[in-house]
Amino acid sequence: MLVFLKLGGSLITDKDRPYTARPDVIKRTAKEVKKAIKEDPDLKVVLGHGSGSFGHFAATESGFSEGAATKSQWLGFQKIWRAAHVLNGIFIDEYNKSGLPVISFSPSASILANKKKIVEWNTFPIKCALDNNLIPVIFGDTIFDQSLGGVILSTEELFLYLIYQFNPDRIILAGKEQGVYADFPENKNLIPKITPENYESIKKKINPSISVDVTGGMRKKVRLMLESVTKNPNLSIEIISGEIPGNIYNSLKDIKTGTTIANS
């Protein structure tokens, strides 16, 4: 069983406070991942995490969103790169302290894009890590782009590419919210399942993030994941709350806790 698990920026950072990680939350999620893997030796996990208040505030402060041509734009590109890698260092340290053999793969160093689409990514090192019982970690990052100069790719966009390289059984996206709501931010009407058939009738109800999020928030997340299940009918994707202790562990054990995105 191969699972892609993303820990959202809204979960592992305080998205409303610039450059503020939540190390206690990161540590707790690591314990849940470790417990699930210990109980199921056949479970393999590719971890991903968002940039939260690190990358998103760096992007806002620098004015960088897409494309780099001028000196100031490239400096903004570098500032976002730095912020994303600082958070990744915090994440790796906490997971390593928990006894998990995590190893980070920097997207900016290994991916080439063209018009925000990945055209080259040597994923053999990730495969080698998985084959040898290490836990690969990727994260939202700045990417060099043949047409635009520099762009930002979210973890979901990276997962979208890796699906075709590794064919995961499931994807889990753990953020602060319990799932996808039809009335965000009131959060009283959770949508239990989203499919290509019902998406058109509910998409206007799915709001983007109310915090700073230059990668598009919940609406883009759902659209990208729907694209994935449409092309991969056997794939199941869950959007859950990692804020609730035990939810990540339960989801890794295939206990449904939030919103499921599936082909039917």
pLDDT at residue 223 greater than cutoff 90: no
Residue type, 42: D
**pLDDT given for residue 91 in this prediction:** 98
**Segment holding 77, helix H or strand E:** helix 71-97
Q: What are phi and psi of 8, to 5 degrees?
A: -70, 155
Answer yes or no: are the C-beta atoms of 68 and 74 closer than 8 Å.
Answer: yes
Average pLDDT over residues 183-188: 80
Most confident of 58-62, 201-205, 207-211: 58-62
| Cα 145 to Cα 142: distance, rounded to the nearest angstrom | 9
| Cα 16 to Cα 157: distance, rounded to the nearest angstrom | 23
**For position 10, which CATH number holds?**
3.40.1160.10
CA dihedral of residues 94, 26, 260, 223 (deg, nearest 10): -90
pLDDT at residue 216 greater than cutoff 80: no
**pLDDT given for residue 15 in this prediction:** 85
With cut-offs at 50, 70 and 90, classify the pLDDT of residue 209.
low
Total residue count of the chain as it appears in this document: 264
Report the range of poorest mean pLDDT among 45-54, 77-86, 161-170, 202-211: 202-211
**Who wins on pLDDT, 206 or 104?**
104
**pLDDT given for residue 212 in this prediction:** 45
pLDDT at residue 211 greater than cutoff 50: no
Domain that holds residue 148: 2-261
For the stretch 5-63, pLDDT in tens is 999 999 999 988 999 999 999 999 999 999 999 999 999 999 999 999 999 899 889 98
pLDDT at residue 185 greater than cutoff 80: no
**pLDDT given for residue 207 in this prediction:** 66
For the stretch 112-137, pLDDT in tens is 999 999 999 999 999 999 999 999 99
Q: Taking all residues of the chain, what is their mean pLDDT, rounded to a whole number? A: 92
Report the number of distinct structural domains present in the chain: 1
pLDDT at residue 167 greater than cutoff 80: yes
By C-alpha distance, which of 237, 60, 255 is closest to 159?
237
For the stretch 138-148, pLDDT in tens is 999 999 999 99
Average pLDDT over residues 200-221: 67
Average pLDDT over residues 194-203: 87
